[in-house]
Structure 1
Amino acid sequence: MVDESGLRAEAEDRLRSLAGPGARLRDDQWSAIRALVVERRRALVVQRTGWGKSAVYFIATALLRARGAGPTVIVSPLLALMRNQIAAAARAGVHAATINSANTDEWDRVHAEVERGEIDVLLVSPERLNNPDFRALVLPKLAAGAGLVVVDEAHCISDWGHDFRPDYRRLRSLLASLPPGVPVLATTATANARVTHDVAEQLGSGPSGGPAAADGAAAVARPESPGETLVLRGPLERDSLRLAVVRQPTAERRLAWLAEALRDLPGSGIIYTLTVAATHEISAYLRDQGYEVAAYSGQTEQAERLAAEQALLDNRVKALIATSALGMGFDKPDLGFVVHVGAPASPVAYYQQIGRAGRGVERAEVILLPGPEDRDIWAYFASLAFPPETTVRATLGALSEQGTTSTAALETRVDLSRARLETMLKVLDVDGAVERVKGGWRSTGMPWAYDGPRYARVAAERTAEQRAMLDYIATDQCREEFLRRHLDDETARPCGRCDNCTGTHHQESVGEEAVGRARDRLRRPGVEVEPRSQWPTGLKELGLSGRIRPEVSAEPGRALGRLTDIGWGNVLRRLLAADAPDRPVPDEVFDAVVQVLAAWEWRQRPVSVVSVPSATRPKLVAGLAQRLAAVGRLTYLGSLAYRNGPPGRQHNSAHRVRALTATLTADVPGGLEVSGMPETGAVSLSSGPVLLVDDRVETGWTMTVATAMLRQAGAPAVLPLTLATTT
């Protein structure tokens, strides 16, 4: 018999080492620890941010290790989360180490320390589960010797959740390979009832019990069978948060309001945006206004991300302007505010992000500044859903025919972008239809069914979440109660703290001078567009492989703005929308393009202009090129053409280049010679640099192929110019 009173006293001692002398275990924390240490079973803990979920698995680890169990394996999604967890483990007297993509030079040492029993906790990124060597050589040893397995941010397992990650689904095979009696703990702060049920099913034979009535009360009834997953689900109230929505009609007014409000926001915090481009735009403007801020996204270099996180932790910056890359696991208890410039597509995602604030302070401000462009961004991310069955079948067919094939080689057979292809293959791997091996992917030959109805239901759920987010913005009821009810928290009641509950709304007026400054920053035209440097793989039959030769490559180009910008992006999205009419370029846009040209420090001024043929906007593109030629006193040599009609839309690089080379031609009239301006005489492609004009750059391959053709036809240099870029 286990002395449970003595065990709980030992657990309390461990908690005080971790959280301070006044800390005491919550009843639900003890219920989880007991389930893991005494009953050696599987449990799912769904509790609010700051509740103390990490304390459960670190204390359970210490108790299990003291009783001879093997090390704990924690699957953790983010490097920031891993760093915080390693520091917290040390405070609990637990030695932790990590294996992830950022410390490959330490893997051998970490593996040796695990085998010698010197490591109590090993943190593993879910991507490691997708590595053939790791799965073949390391994972079986970890599974055989683990004393506890923890799945952190477990909502990532469920494709019903807001942050589904295919690599997490591999945990099913890890859990299935565990010896009997190895306990498993899954934790999350953001899961509604559907996600909770899905995660619990994947952990074991299914969930039991229901939500707690109050924190500290019995969270669930005892399950009838010890094989069932114990679900401990508590209330999600955050009594330090003051939720509010501020509506401003334009991007410049939102930015100007933010700059004025930031002076009064407490301490330091996070300003979330929906796109990488917006992190740079907003941080640049706020620095102009005298604030210490830094941009942060998944594209930020690792060392720079670490430095930015530390600067925020040390209160050396007022805010990080961040995408959702700064989310799960970033732990700053005194974070004073979270502002969103742009609404996330889901109330669940929103509640997860604002949960970073107010964990160790009595009051934290949470403000949402929604914009009309938010829906466009939501639609873009929704377009990256699981591909249609014909595409999936084509992939499986290619693998069956070719055997082991790299992702790059598959791109030549399957019309998907690299990111979508990788995601689809990971899902198929989890489903057992393919497997990742050295050299790429191969078919398992196992039968596989396309679950169209499920994918449709998930897509419908995403659409419903977007509608709910719009309802949150518009509601005149309690905001926190709205969010908690969307998370199926049956204990939700009016908070008495948000702007609707108190009737105290933020002042929405903003000075016109500040609006003007914000407009000037957002409308500052010009984005550099780097030329492609490598041809896609699989095009050797076209004579295209390896690096693009200097004699056929483009110079660095320019775009008026990014489609994801909150400044010019709003104008360009309307102008280039699928349902927008083809019309001459508006004067406002043309004048801004002229500014881009005036600021372009090219090595040699262009002497001619050529336009890219457009199937959808010939007036816009050719008209822009002709006006630029006239105002710049250049010669318009005409438009390139398509021999066999426009190439349509392809989703990956190899397909795009193959389609373009099959139909695009550089037989412009100026390839022979046309009359130029009086001062220049006759002008041809060979007379000097050519300005190549298009309406937008997405993959960059149209500009790349067109440039190569123009260079081969005699152009000494090509300068790409486009209205918009998606990069």
Structure 2
Amino acid sequence: MAAASAGRLDPVDGRRTSGARGERVAAPAAPARPAAVRVRPGADEDLRPEAEAALRRLVGRDDAVLRDDQWTAIHALVAEQRRALVVQRTGWGKSAVYFVATSLLRARGSGPTIIISPLLALMRDQIAAAGRAGVRAATINSANVTEWDQIHEQISNGDIDVLLCSPERLNNPGFRDEVLPRLAADAGLVVIDEAHCVSDWGHDFRPDYRRIRTLLAELPEGIPVLATTATANARVTQDVAEQLEITGEGAGRSEVLVLRGGLDRESLHLNVLRLGDQPTRVAWLLEALRSTEGSGIVYCLTVSVAEQVAAQLKAAGLPVAAYTGRTDPTERESLEADLKANRVKALVATSALGMGFDKPDLGFVVHLGAPSSPIAYYQQVGRAGRGVDSALVVLLPGEEDQRIWEYFGSLAFPREDQVRATLDALSRGGTQSAQALETQVDLTRSRLEMMLKVLDVDGAVKRVKGGWEATGQGWTYEADRYARVEQARLAEQRTMLDYESTDGCRMAFLRRTLDDPDLRPDERCGRCDNCGGSTLPAAPTTEHVAQARKAMDVPGVVVEPRSMWPTGMATLGIDLKGKISPAEKTEPGRAVARLDGLGWSQPLRELFASTTPDGEVPVHLRRAAAQVLDAWDGLQVDGVVCVRSTTRPVLVEHLARGLAKYLDKPFVGFVGPLGGHEAPPRHDVNSAMRLAGVAQRLGLDLTPAASAGLAGRSILLVDDRVASGWTLAVAGRLLRQAGAGAVLPFVLAQQ
């Protein structure tokens, strides 16, 4: 591919280019049989001027020209009705390919384009961009449910040229069985954005994407297909290309055109900065944001860290906002607009912000904690520097990174016995919701739903109105493949650690990891910290670190009580259903900190590490617990009850008795396991099974005098930590049923 010539405009963001070497056409290292385009005589003369006119409308500049690979892809789609896979760096102009192709196809009477994309933020940007090119676009996703009927009617009337939909919609029964077949039959072009999600070898495999292969197999002959991604190594490229291939009749045209280009990003200055602890990292971030021009993104690995960092930066006077999976969809759109308009210095975000955030002048990307994959890291940092000459990219690794990777890694595909149990439950019970299945399968809700999506695509189950049902088709557990994917995931983690520690060129490292076909041996970018081409903001002063530490050293988070019992508890022999009665419910409680946050999270993680023996509460955590009690508005208790622990009995009882002494209130007794239930409960099961285990094992252990004096009293209920919340809910219910007027939970850590 040739870049736009010197002095011309980049066909993506309108930025002037230097005429430097551009990307070229190349097959992956493990070839996916790329094929030459069959050019119709005179086709270039007929199509290219029209294509470039559409491009200029799209970017709003009269001197924009198509890159060679953009034209190759557009020609293949429009003139040859081919299937193509375009693997090009972020900012190269992949969206220009499908919008220009759509304009040409619609002008020739083709049906609307269907774009499948997981990036809701980018969908909003693309709808605006399509409008500039005279292309009428709409989206169907979880954020605009109220508009779906109107959009379906517009499609039927031919008033929409492009429909963008999230992959999750493909698994919705009504959309999949009623809307999608009509769309697919009349489509002029099908586009799969972020196509690496199709491959379970990729860093961001999504089960919903597996349904795309079924969609492609059922497309009528002659409908072109385009898959695009910026982050696919040779193995993923080959896998995606194979899944795009046509099989059966017409297989003579099954070969997929693969266009892979170079992945260098000349504006990015990559850095890795190792700082001693969390306060030092946050202090550096605070000063760096004050001294760095432009606006950008600060990525964090967990919701808690993102929210805490955002709060700390705001308290220091910086205009920032948190953007996480807990952010309301309407607020997300507002925050994106604020960043684009530079009304905020940064969004402090988790991966919920997505890779598709479109802001060409994004000046920096900072990571507090490393993603588990260098490929995911390349994609995230690729949002910066698209329309500016220089963008700062900094990775601040944390000691907790690998623990977080291990947690997300534990959510891999379930064991075969758990899968078989789910299939058996559906075969016996007919159509059932995920909530109903929870009472029969020892999987958390998120893992159960992920597994059902995979089984749906494999044909073993089907999602229908009201839940899921078994199809009765045979199904094989691909243990070897799952094991290989797991090994690939672990290899990516090791590669990420290698990136952090390398003394070589960082951009070359990332390009090599992605099998960049344009990377020359021993090539160096000249821009990263190891190449000597990057200057970082100064290290924080001792005073600034002390200020950051002080802000983190304020313990205390609210523990919200459970309000609803899980569905279907009767099938587990537990008579609990519906809303938790106000007469049996606990009050909002308190924890010293969350385990996945900053500040006090670190000593709590050390306390609850598997290698830490049971023992008394460390002195510094006793002081933190007292601080939380002192800051608890309106705290009035008459006594203290301890949840007896089977794993850390010394710790919990020492904490409860210590708090009773501090408050000068009596230690009343215990809520503990009944006879025969001394084994610790499992924490790796779903909500219903967790509750069943708790409800069957807990009972009151109070003295007769304490029981007699409980009526109307307020009780501080003490445990070591809270995860699902069911232990506190059941223990609180027992105390309320025994006469307590209020139960206020207190724990050291919230998971």
State the TM-score, normalized to the length of structure 2: 0.91
CA contact (8 A) 2:77 2:225 kept: yes
Q: Which stretches in structure 1 are left out of the alignment for 5+ residues? A: 207-223, 675-682
Equivalent position SS for 1:501: coil
Residue type matched to 1:277 in 2?
S
Shift of 1:601: 1.4
Aligned to 1:215: none
Residue type matched to 1:114 in 2?
I
CA contact (8 A) 1:525 1:560 kept: yes
1:672 maps onto 2:705 in alignment: yes
Aligned counterparts of 1:536 and 1:127: Cα–Cα separation in 2: 24
Aligned to 1:7: 47
Shift of 1:687: 6.0
Aligned counterparts of 1:230 and 1:114: Cα–Cα separation in 2: 29
1:718 maps onto 2:729 in alignment: no
Aligned to 1:690: 715
Aligned counterparts of 1:424 and 1:577: Cα–Cα separation in 2: 29
Question: Any runs of at least 4 consecutive aligned residues in structure 1 with deviations exceeding 6 A, and if so which?
Answer: none
Shift of 1:579: 2.4
Shift of 1:639: 2.4
Aligned counterparts of 2:483 and 2:246: Cα–Cα separation in 1: 26
Aligned to 2:16: none
Q: Which residue among 327, 335, 350 is the counterpart of 2:377?
A: 350
Aligned to 1:526: 556
CA contact (8 A) 2:231 2:375 kept: yes
Equivalent position SS for 1:449: coil
Equivalent position SS for 1:550: coil
For these two proteins, the number of residue pairs brought into alignment is 699
Matching of residues 228-377 of structure 1 within 5 Å: 228-377=255-404
Aligned to 1:221: none
Aligned to 2:33: none
CA contact (8 A) 1:647 1:663 kept: no
CA contact (8 A) 2:527 2:534 kept: no
Shift of 1:684: 3.8
CA contact (8 A) 2:669 2:701 kept: no
Residue type matched to 1:518 in 2?
A
Aligned counterparts of 1:143 and 1:301: Cα–Cα separation in 2: 32
Equivalent position SS for 2:628: helix
Aligned counterparts of 1:297 and 1:484: Cα–Cα separation in 2: 29
CA contact (8 A) 2:559 2:591 kept: yes
CA deviation profile, 1:241-267 (whole Å, cap 9, x unmatched): 000011111000000111111122120
Shift of 1:667: 2.2
Equivalent position SS for 1:708: helix
Matching of residues 502-651 of structure 1 within 5 Å: 502=532, 506=536, 509-540=539-570, 541-602=573-634, 605-643=636-674, 644=676, 645-650=678-683, 651=685
Aligned to 2:733: 708
Aligned counterparts of 1:685 and 1:197: Cα–Cα separation in 2: 68
CA contact (8 A) 2:646 2:680 kept: no
Shift of 1:646: 3.3
Matching of residues 55-454 of structure 1 within 5 Å: 55-204=96-245, 226-454=253-481
Residue type matched to 1:630 in 2?
K
Shift of 1:503: 6.4
CA deviation profile, 1:34-70 (whole Å, cap 9, x unmatched): 1101110110000000000000000000111111111
Equivalent position SS for 2:297: strand
Residue type matched to 2:57 in 1?
S
Aligned counterparts of 1:532 and 1:658: Cα–Cα separation in 2: 15
Aligned to 2:28: none
Judging changes above 3 Å, is the alpha-carbon distance between structure 1 residues 673 and 236 closer, same or farther for their aligned structure 2 residues? same
Judging changes above 3 Å, is the alpha-carbon distance between structure 1 residues 599 and 239 closer, same or farther for their aligned structure 2 residues? same
Q: Which residue among 647, 670, 691 is the counterpart of 1:657?
A: 691
Aligned counterparts of 1:142 and 1:231: Cα–Cα separation in 2: 26
CA deviation profile, 1:99-124 (whole Å, cap 9, x unmatched): 11222221121111111111110111
CA deviation profile, 1:275-300 (whole Å, cap 9, x unmatched): 11111111111112211000001110
Aligned counterparts of 2:719 and 2:728: Cα–Cα separation in 1: 8
Aligned counterparts of 1:673 and 1:692: Cα–Cα separation in 2: 14
Shift of 1:328: 2.0
Judge which range, 224-233 or 527-536, deviates more: 224-233
CA deviation profile, 1:334-367 (whole Å, cap 9, x unmatched): 0000000111110001000000000000000000
Aligned counterparts of 1:88 and 1:225: Cα–Cα separation in 2: 36
Shift of 1:490: 3.3
Aligned counterparts of 2:438 and 2:402: Cα–Cα separation in 1: 30
Q: CA RMSD in A?
A: 1.5
Q: Which residue among 515, 522, 541 is the counterpart of 1:488?
A: 515
Shift of 1:205: 5.1
Aligned counterparts of 1:593 and 1:185: Cα–Cα separation in 2: 57
Residue type matched to 2:706 in 1?
E
Aligned counterparts of 1:658 and 1:291: Cα–Cα separation in 2: 47
Aligned counterparts of 2:604 and 2:53: Cα–Cα separation in 1: 60
CA deviation profile, 1:176-220 (whole Å, cap 9, x unmatched): 1110010000000011111111111111159xxxxxxxxxxxxxx
Shift of 1:501: 0.4
Aligned counterparts of 1:468 and 1:668: Cα–Cα separation in 2: 55
Equivalent position SS for 1:637: strand
Judge which range, 141-150 or 623-632, deviates more: 623-632
CA contact (8 A) 2:269 2:533 kept: no
Judge which range, 489-498 or 554-563, deviates more: 489-498
Residue type matched to 1:239 in 2?
E
Judge which range, 255-264 or 591-600, deviates more: 255-264
Shift of 1:225: 5.4
CA deviation profile, 1:623-678 (whole Å, cap 9, x unmatched): 11111111111111232221121352041111111111211111223x5339xxxx
Equivalent position SS for 2:352: coil
Aligned counterparts of 2:640 and 2:361: Cα–Cα separation in 1: 56
Judge which range, 175-184 or 484-493, deviates more: 484-493
Q: Which residue among 495, 505, 508 is the counterpart of 1:468?
A: 495
CA contact (8 A) 2:591 2:746 kept: yes
Aligned counterparts of 2:252 and 2:375: Cα–Cα separation in 1: 31
Aligned to 1:16: 56
Judge which range, 494-503 or 48-57, deviates more: 494-503
Aligned counterparts of 1:655 and 1:703: Cα–Cα separation in 2: 15
Aligned counterparts of 2:253 and 2:532: Cα–Cα separation in 1: 47
1:501 maps onto 2:531 in alignment: yes
Equivalent position SS for 1:525: coil
Aligned counterparts of 1:672 and 1:508: Cα–Cα separation in 2: 64
Aligned counterparts of 1:280 and 1:662: Cα–Cα separation in 2: 36
CA contact (8 A) 1:612 1:694 kept: yes
Q: Which stretches in structure 2 are left out of the alignment for 5+ residues? A: 1-39
CA contact (8 A) 1:248 1:508 kept: no
CA contact (8 A) 1:646 1:663 kept: no
Shift of 1:326: 1.1
Judging changes above 3 Å, is the alpha-carbon distance between structure 1 residues 508 and 637 closer, same or farther for their aligned structure 2 residues? farther
